[in-house]
Amino acid sequence: MRKTLDRDKMPRHVAIIMDGNGRWAKKKQLQRIKGHEAGIKAVERTVEYCAKTGIQVLTLYAFSSENWRRPALEVRALMKLLRLFLRRETARLIKNNIRLQAIGQLYRLEPVVRAELKKAMDKTSSCTGMVLNLALSYGSRDEIIRAMKHFFQELESGGKDLAALTPETFHDYLDTAGLPDPDLILRTGGEYRLSNFLLWQAAYAELYFSETLWPDLAESELEEIFLDYQHRERRFGMISEQLS
Ligand code: IPE
Ligand code: IPE
Ligand code: MG
């Protein structure tokens, strides 16, 4: 069994549910927000490692459409951290040729946050390396309903035919239009659920659950996870013999 990464078999799209910041802080008897701050460092490490190993798309679940239900103070602190991250990281993204993108109900973000996000996306728009896709105020069910509404509007206005709706064309209406489906979905923090993340796109994703709390995720574990992915057989409904 290989012990080093095969660069020809890297997942094209890695999507991560970055969970466990609050518990990380609690364990250290710190406030939850300190966990989110430490989480940003793990984001920086992960972005760098994924870009270095040839991942094409990295989607990070940073804030769910359900996370608005958290205490206002925590929501405010998370939004502030997001702004700081965008402001601080843009130069490094450009340097590493990384293009920033976002999915989710971006209209729900505060105007100042939206402006910072737009600025970062504009500045990195001509980068041709990895795509860093931030899921912000993102929820999969909401995304699917928005996509359906968009399709039905086109149907009503006569621009579309119902027969044109297929799993492939439906993807063009989702926030992830233009991106490949995730090959690997990783959740840290020891919970075994998807929490409304990429439900449609996850159809054939390989799932990996780590007990590590997000701020503690190191490069070495990411390497182990990618190695584990490379040892899996993705059959897409077929049988082993058909794959070679
Ligand atoms: C994930 O960590 C970050 C966000 C959801 C924004 P949590 O804040 O959910 O951490 P736990 O699950 O409470 O430990
Ligand atoms: C999922 O984590 C959302 C993000 C990581 C941004 P949560 O901590 O919100 O998920 P639940 O509530 O435990 O399912
Ligand atoms: Mg959590």
The string of pLDDT tens digits covering residues 5-21 is 999 999 999 999 999 99
Q: Is the CB of 62 under 6 A from ligand 2?
A: yes
Q: Domain count of the chain?
A: 1
Segment holding 202, helix H or strand E: none
Q: Is the CB of 61 under 6 A from ligand 1?
A: no
126 inside domain: yes
User: pLDDT (tens digit, 9 = 90+) per residue, 213-232?
Assistant: 999 999 999 999 999 999 99
239 inside domain: no
Q: How far does residue 91's CA lie from ligand 2's centre (Å)? A: 29
160 inside domain: no
Q: How far does residue 222's CA lie from ligand 1's centre (Å)? A: 19
For ligand 1, atom 12: residue with the closest CA: 20
- Record the pTM: 0.98
Report d(CA 244, CA 233) in Å as an integer: 11
Q: Is the CB of 215 under 6 A from ligand 1?
A: no
Residue 93 vs residues 25, 67, 80, 125, 203: alpha-carbon distances, Å: 28, 26, 19, 11, 30
Report d(CA 166, CA 154) in Å as an integer: 15
122 inside domain: yes
Q: Angle formed by the axes of helices 111-123 and 72-95, to 10°?
A: 10
Is the CA virtual torsion 132, 189, 12, 67 positive or negative? negative
215 inside domain: yes
69 inside domain: yes
Q: How far does residue 67's CA lie from ligand 2's centre (Å)? A: 7
Where residue 49 sits, what CATH number does that domain have? Answer: 3.40.1180.10
169 inside domain: no
Q: Residue 30 sits in which domain range? A: 11-140+183-228
31 inside domain: yes
Find the range with the poorest average confidence among 131-140, 153-162, 193-202: 153-162
pLDDT exceeds cutoff 90 at 61: yes
Which one of 8, 21, 67, 122 is the catalytic residue? Answer: 67
Q: Is the CB of 191 under 6 A from ligand 2?
A: yes
The percent helix, strand, coil of the chain (3-state, each to 5) is 50, 15, 35
